[in-house]
Amino acid sequence: MYECMEYGCPDRVLCKEANVYCQVTHCGKGSCHGCPEPFPDALKNLAIKQWCKFECLRGSVRLGPVLGFVPSIGNIFIGPFGCPDE
């Protein structure tokens, strides 16, 4: 997902709660209307430049998705949100 990284998504994020790295799998410009929970509804309505979705795996076990975003002002990645528990 190199195009995601061009727009500000990191290639991976650390979910400290589960002590696991999550790889970027999807991204898009603007607010993330189709993002699944646990992406907070309040964040869906912010001025979002880019949203980023990551998948967390431990070995071959899928732990679930996490999300983050790059706001229109600041160009700094904010997230991840929705990290799986241990």
Residue ranges covered by each domain of the chain:
2-81
The pLDDT tens digits of the residues spanning 10-55 come to 999 999 988 999 999 998 877 665 565 555 555 555 567 888 999 9
The verdict on pTM exceeding 0.85 is no
Q: How far is CA 13 from CA 8, 18, 49, 73, in A?
A: 13, 12, 19, 21
Asked if the model's pLDDT at residue 72 lies above 90, the reply is no
